[in-house]
Amino acid sequence: MQPLNIAIVHPNLGIGGAERLVVDTALALQSRGHRVHIYTLHHDASHSFAETRDGTLDVRVVSSWFPTSVFGRMRILCTTLQAQSLARRVAGDHTQYDVVFVDIVSAAIPLLKYAQAHILFYCHFPDLLLAPHSTLAQRVYRAPFDLIERMTTGEADRVVVNSRFTQETFRRVFPTLPMPRVVHPALNCAAYDTLPRMEDPAIHVLRTPRRVVLSINRFERKKAVVLAIDAVAQLPRDVCLVVAGGWDPLVPENTEHLIELNAHARALGLSTRTIAPRNSGALALLPLDHYRVPTFIDSDVLPDVDVLFVPSFTENQRNYLLSTARCVVYTPANEHLGIVPLEAMYLRVPVVAADSGGPRETVVHAKSGYLCEHNAADFADAISRVLAAPDAQWREMGAYGRERVIQHFSLDAYAQNIEAVISDMLETPTSVSAVMGILLTLFIVCTSATLYLCATYL
């Protein structure tokens, strides 16, 4: 394939599974000789992957005056408006793109048509299934946005999904659209081959004589990290649960849920500690009674605690935690795929995950870990089996998981799959006329503006 100009559009380039996918997509395409630019609305150097800030990737931050929420509410409205700002910048860029890769927000697709490029939409999961629809007000508010998602998703020239689980969900939600192809996310294995730098002060505070059970997730309620805490509460007190993951002070739920998890662990009689970079703000936002003495990353003493919270953890901390963990516990139910089990398996750590969604496609039960029912008792039993496994059996599970990742989820495999989709897509003209793009864009802008004004002034 001839080198292409490719734009990747992602609203917030922080730390998370979706962001890791964007970075790995850029790396994969760049390794194939393509010229790749990433467009985003938000990129914090202190809360992002190294490749986005060390010059490896070309990241272009687009300014937008639209807020992320209105008094903590109406996020989908603001996200839709922000997507239009991002799409307008890409469509108006002087660079002529051959392909625009979009994920997360399909509302940007119609306006991106003006870039005169083929649009590839990577669907992590239909957003309309993630939003609450339990009350009449919620259903009325969500109705136009659900319609927008249904209309704009079909505007893409090709749609791919991250798992067979998402593929089946997509088929039920969008029955009139062609069945999307499954392209599993990749793990950039080279990024995990680096040994942790032990001289890093941020590592010193993570050392514990206990056996480590590790949970890596964003601090969001849907990740069900409370299940890991409930499970560990049933285990002997020679285990330390480390809860690490993406934590963004701009996202109120991250702060709220960190406090909730800390309080829940304390209510179960577990001792807790929160360790965070000095500039992250995580400790400052916690009430003082949630910990005895503030601990920052320049400390070299870790108290003997049952649950250790590590918000805004660094990549070096991640590598260290994965290298010392005896077990990785992955608690979300019906997760679309989940990159954390792949990280753990590649580093030879057995995984305990919910028997639903994406982990069914990554974790092989009783070979690379255990799949269990979504309750604390089953998780506690599975964790106990991993912890009690003889060293030879534990190493065998780890070796099986690593080989599975290398064969099925490597960056090379992903690059081949995504390039095959692009090659097939470019053989046919772009699917929708500019007239339809104009109509959909006007519909999105007018609907969003109307709801915004009603919410603000009524």
Mean pLDDT lowest for which of 198-207, 254-263, 373-382, 444-453?
A: 444-453
Confidence label for 301 from pLDDT (cuts 50, 70 and 90): very low
Q: What is the pLDDT of residues 227-249, one digit of tens each?
A: 999 999 999 989 999 999 888 77
- Residue 79 predicted with pLDDT over 80: no
Give me the amino acid identity at 234. Q
Higher pLDDT pick, 322 / 455: 322
pLDDT at residue 436 in the model: 56
What is the C-alpha separation between 393 and 349, in angstroms, rounded? 12
What is the C-alpha separation between 360 and 374, in angstroms, rounded? 13
- Residue 81 predicted with pLDDT over 60: yes
Average pLDDT in the 43-54 region? 83
What is the C-alpha separation between 154 and 161, in angstroms, rounded? 14
- Residue 86 predicted with pLDDT over 90: no
What is the C-alpha separation between 449 and 452, in angstroms, rounded? 5
- Residue 54 predicted with pLDDT over 80: yes
What is the C-alpha separation between 255 and 285, in angstroms, rounded? 7
pLDDT at residue 33 in the model: 92
Mean pLDDT lowest for which of 110-124, 166-180, 299-313, 342-356?
A: 299-313
- Residue 347 predicted with pLDDT over 80: yes
Strand partners, 272: 307
Q: What is the pLDDT of residues 175-232, one digit of tens each?
A: 999 999 999 988 888 888 888 888 888 888 888 889 999 999 989 999 999 999 999 9
pTM of the predicted protein model:
0.78
Chain mean position to CA 377: 27
Distance between start and end Cα atoms, the chain: 55
Confidence label for 287 from pLDDT (cuts 50, 70 and 90): very low
Percent of the chain with pLDDT over 70: 85
Average pLDDT in the 431-452 region? 59
pLDDT at residue 417 in the model: 92
Nearest-5° angle of CA 311, CA 347, CA 49? 40
pLDDT at residue 126 in the model: 83
* Contacts of range 368-375, beta carbons closer than 8 Å, 24 or more positions apart: 368/397, 368/398, 368/400, 368/401, 368/404, 369/328, 369/341, 369/344, 369/345, 369/397, 369/401, 374/224, 374/227, 374/331, 374/333, 375/227
Measuring CA to CA, how many Å separate 121 from each of 12, 124, 157, 291? 16, 9, 8, 44
Q: How many residues are present in the chain? A: 458
pLDDT at residue 274 in the model: 86
Confidence label for 443 from pLDDT (cuts 50, 70 and 90): low
Average pLDDT in the 138-155 region? 82
What is the C-alpha separation between 284 and 93, in angstroms, rounded? 41
- Residue 111 predicted with pLDDT over 70: yes
Q: Which of 3-12, 62-71, 315-324, 383-392 has the highest mean pLDDT?
A: 383-392
Q: What is the pLDDT of residues 158-180, one digit of tens each?
A: 999 999 999 999 999 999 999 99
- Residue 40 predicted with pLDDT over 80: yes
What is the C-alpha separation between 109 and 424, in angstroms, rounded? 19
pLDDT at residue 294 in the model: 37
Q: What is the pLDDT of residues 369-416, one digit of tens each?
A: 999 999 999 999 999 999 999 999 999 999 999 999 998 998 888 999
306 closest CA partner among 344, 342, 268, 355: 268
Q: What is the DSSP annotation of 141-180? A: HHHHHHHHHHHHHTTSSEEEESSHHHHHHHHHH-TTSPPP
pLDDT at residue 14 in the model: 80
- The three-state secondary structure class of 287 is coil
Give me the amino acid identity at 349. V
Strands 239-245 and 307-311, by their bridges, are parallel
